[in-house]
Structure 1
Amino acid sequence: MPAYAAFLRAVNVGGTGKLAMADLRALTEGIGARNVQTYIASGNVAFSHDAAPADVQSALEKALHDHAGKPVGVLLRTLAQLDALTAGTPFPDAPGDKVICLLTDAPIPAAPAADATHHTAEDIRPGPGALYIHYPDGQGRSRLRLPAMAEGTARNLNTIRKMRSLLAERS
């Protein structure tokens, strides 16, 4: 049975509002998922499901919409995709909490910094299904804005690695 990691957009930070992780687990189980486990209270859930990725993503988005009363973005990744993301980091020596993976289903721009505003010390690089952003001074001090931020969702590399390990346990 394939394993998936779902990363929800804008959960617990405004926008779509708060979602208890117990509710996220129940909603994920409600679409037929097994071995469901959430990780930290920011909309990360690992699980197994027999359906194809697009069908799983659509079902979870519908369940979340029905629960929240508004759209909640879901970015779904497989173990192979998370392996590529973790192995491909262009910042292997940077602390994992200072490297952000901006996950998106939109095409990744070849020169992502070209459309950035408020860009200072951050280093932005394209990756597989994500933009890597190294925040040497920490993300909290940055005012960086990228067009992909409007549709994607960001997780630090430590979280991506943890979700990868949760998927490996299910594969």
Structure 2
Amino acid sequence: MTTYVAFLRGVNLGPHRAVSMPRLVELAEGLGHEDVWTYLRTGNLVLTSTQAAGTVERGLARALEEEYGTTTDVTVRTADQLRALVADNPFPDGSASQVTVTFLTADPPPGLEDRLAAMATPAEPYEVHGREVWVRFGDGLARSRLAAGLSKVVGVSATTRTVGTVAKLVAGIDKRAG
């Protein structure tokens, strides 16, 4: 069994994208996943499964579409990947609420670095590590042009979380594992 975190993009950010977290747990359990729980109301789902990550992604996306009638992008990472990611944070001195990691569902397209450079300010250093894009929003996310357009800039389906949220997910997984 592998422990995964499924990150749902854009849920519970408005009345038209509402996803019940208890119902999300039921949907995941109905797909055969175990030890299912959520963190926050923003679409962070933890589960264990014998299925491969891609199968978990597709199954959850399909179940959400059937349940809610709308397409929801789902990005899955293993608990081990997330532990390594937190340990390798390229901006360890940044605030946990201002350092973000954007999870891509596919390899980044050519030219991503150039597109990021065109939008980022000097207070927004970034790094691309495989299928993750790290950004330290030194002036905060609220007024950042890069934060507002990052999911379009990366060119593939993606969802962003603060490093604080990812670290808390890892801590929760480790605590439950005992």
Q: Same fold (TM over 0.5)?
A: yes
Identify unmatched segments of 5+ residues in structure 2: none
Q: AA paired with 2:166?
A: I
Q: Deviations along 1:92-145, whole A, 9 cap, x unmatched?
A: 111111101011022236874420354322111112421001001111121213
State the AA in 2 paired with 1:162: K
Q: Contact (CA 8 Å) 1:112, 1:124: kept in 2 or not?
A: no
* Corresponding residue for residue 129 of structure 1: 131
Equivalence for 1:34 = 34
**Stretches of structure 1 lacking an aligned partner (at least 5 in a row):** none
1:108–1:131 Cα contact (<8 Å) kept = no
Seen in structure 2, the aligned counterparts of structure 1 residues 103 and 46 have a Cα distance that, compared at 3 Å, is same
Match of 1:23 in 2: 23
Identity %: 32
Structure 2: distance between partners of 1:42 and 1:132: 19
Counterpart mapping for 1:1-171 below 5 A? 1-14=1-14, 17-108=17-108, 112-116=112-116, 117-120=118-121, 121-144=123-146, 145-146=149-150, 147-148=153-154, 151-168=157-174, 169-170=176-177
Aligned residues: 171
Contact 1:35–1:170 under 8 Å retained in 2: no
Please say if residues 10 and 17 of structure 1, whose CA atoms lie closer than 8 Å, have aligned partners that are also in contact. yes
Q: How much does 1:148 deviate?
A: 1.7
User: Which ranges of 4 or more aligned residues in structure 1 deviate by more than 6 Å?
Assistant: none
Which stretch shifts more, 136-145 or 73-82?
136-145
CA RMSD, 1 decimal: 2.2
8 Å contact kept, 1:112–1:125: no
CA contact (8 A) 2:8 2:75 kept: yes
1:133 is matched by which residue type in structure 2? V
Q: Could you tell me whether the CA contact under 8 Å between 2:103 and 2:131 is conserved in 1?
A: yes
Normalising by structure 1, report the TM-score.
0.89
**Structure 1: how far apart are the matches of 2:135 and 2:167?**
16
Report how far residue 150 of structure 1 moved: 5.9
